[in-house]
Amino acid sequence: MRQGDNRVQDSNKIVAIDEPERNLHPSIVAPFINALILARPDIGYIFASHDVNLISGGHINTLVHVRDSQVISLDPETRKFDAEVVVDFEAIDEGLRRDLLGARQKLLFVEGTPNSIDYRIYNVLFPDWKVTPKGGAQEVIEAVKSLRKNNQLHWIEAKGLIDRDGRPDPEVQALEADGIHALLCPTSENLLFLPKVVEAVAKLLFEAEGGLDVHARMQSAKAELRASLCQSSADISARLATWRINRMLAEAKVSVANVRQLSSPAITFALGQILTEADSEIAELCAIADGLESIQTIPIKNTSIGSRIAVAMGCDAKRYKNIVFRQIGLTTECGETIKSTMLKFLPALDAGSK
């Protein structure tokens, strides 16, 4: 340091700092680094970091994503880096930036939270993807589209997985073209009560505690499904009708011309007719429901159907779900059966390119 000068580095120099977050409290890393950069704008800084908060919250002019490196000689050590400059990083939504920075090359956005059924299932069934919950279906759709339209992020393969929620085939196909896939059953809750999943749980319960054998537990589950389906028919019909009405509202978009003319497109629908049609569909299913196959087509989320099936088998809903979540993480016979059954109702994410 020169006398009368508080600088430890001359102007027009480069300072390289490796992983500053390792020696600083997480709460002050980004503010400290930003203050440092602002205090000495006459020098350049290169930061190597794995800290999402630092990278996302820092005053960064250029972001280089280093994916891998390979040693090509030892004396002296020379490496070849697989790296790329991310040009449009600042144009990405802050929440997406945080998801992106911690991502593998495959990033799967799903509905829910880190504690939701969606995340707990998909995180196991899609081990090659970084599964990231985004809340609702619309947030998943927006996240995927935002990343896929950014050409500078071609090293990230972003896809989405959402509940089918009564979407018609044309809508599902249009979403798939944008990298958003829908389940082959109504909701993620349905995956827990597919026939072979129920049978696997029944087998585990019998082996653990005896009592009713697998066949008896399955018969009890089937009887309870039919009874609870009929008792919940009004709620299920209302949900089907709501999905259809929301589809119609989504298609009736307001245009720029509408706003300029202070007019809005006419949105009309026969609510009674839509509900009657949904009632008829559910009544038909109730009449023919003699097995657990109905679970494949009926939305059971936010109904008592799943809980009642679990109780009929000899346990409560929480224990039933915990058994399923535990088994899908194991390589046992029951675990493999549950995983393979669920995968039949999930899209093949690795089929085709992004």
Chain segment 50-81, per-residue pLDDT in tens: 666 666 666 677 777 776 778 887 778 888 88
**Residues with Cβ within 8 Å of residue 280, at least 6 apart in sequence:** none
Rounded Cα–Cα distance for residues 139 and 285 (Å): 32
Could you report the per-residue pLDDT of 300-346, keeping only the tens digit for each? 888 888 999 999 999 999 999 999 999 998 999 999 999 999 999 99
221 in Cβ contact with 198 (< 8 Å): yes
Residues 63, 56: Cα–Cα separation, whole Å: 10
**d(C-alpha 125, C-alpha 184), whole Å:** 15
* pLDDT reading at 150 higher than 80: no
- Which range among 23-27, 269-273, 291-295 shows the weakest confidence by mean pLDDT? 23-27
The band of 4, judged by pLDDT with boundaries at 50, 70 and 90, is very low
